[in-house]
Structure 1
């Protein structure tokens, strides 16, 4: 096994692809935006997994499965975002510290909360990510990168769908009766 290390491309750099025909400055802006979305998506993924692991209560199974599915979707989206950043000539962010620093959202702390609080925190994070992705769609469109804009539009549809489902979970109407507080 070779111990030689050859850095093929330094993190934080962009080497534009001649095939995609985007100039350096545009590619750098797009890779930066994609890395921001990638970071936010991984923070969301980890928070959803935390809630998936810790959900309890009468509606456990349905919410557990929903959060697992939402986390899987976030993981798939992160992969697409990273692959597009790489295709544009960038280096996708991958280190946990770097991901958290680049994310426009912050995860909740490590404590375990009731599921209503957890879902409220998830919905807030989805909303913040939705706003950022909308801005990045506009950026990609204005820079003439319609492929990235389209990919982000599809990502936005998924984000909005999961946020909307969480909104329904948080409605007051439920078949489960609350226990009387003492």
Structure 2
């Protein structure tokens, strides 16, 4: 165990960056990216929960999709954290901090039916989509085109996953209810 006690950067602060993004602009973007990071981790954990608990006739497809979607959310979180660190920020971390910083609400700890679970996922996806769109505009307006491009790419992936969930929720199915 390390005995080092030197704090390299205080949580919630923004240091100067070598990307020449003005401090005030970097602070705004770091705040936005930390919001997206926190929301993405809430989504990740909810997707994993549903991946573990999904049952029923469509188990395999939904199980595989949720596992892959959780993987994409984890990759997105990593990209967000690395970008905000590059512009001088400290990525929000830790379960309690992430949930407190996220503007999205995870479902409860109980296990729900597949349709309810997917509807809850779609709700978080929608909130993240709206946030990403706002933050693309923010980064663009502040002249941080690299962050805007990263967010655009993440937005494409998030919208695609939301679209797939929407298809799972359609009422046309080969499964006959009794």
Determine if the TM-score, normalized by the shorter chain, exceeds 0.5: yes
Q: Which residue of 1 aligns with 2:163?
A: 164
Do structure 1's residue 127 and structure 2's residue 126 form an aligned pair?
yes
Gaps of 5+ in 2: none
1:62-141 matches, within 5 Å, as 62-141=61-140
Give 1 or 2 for the bigger CA radius of gyration. Answer: 1
TM-score (structure 2 length as normaliser): 0.98
Q: Which residue of 1 aligns with 2:13?
A: 13
Q: What do you get for the CA RMSD once the two structures are aligned?
A: 0.8
Q: Which residue of 2 aligns with 1:44?
A: 43
SS at match of 2:106: coil
What is the CA-CA distance between 1:2 and the residue it aligns to?
4.8
TM-score (structure 1 length as normaliser): 0.96
What is the CA-CA distance between 1:4 and the residue it aligns to?
3.0
Q: Aligned pairs, how many?
A: 178
Deviations 1:41-100 (A, max 9, x none): 000000000000000000101000000000000000000000001000010001111100
Gaps of 5+ in 1: none
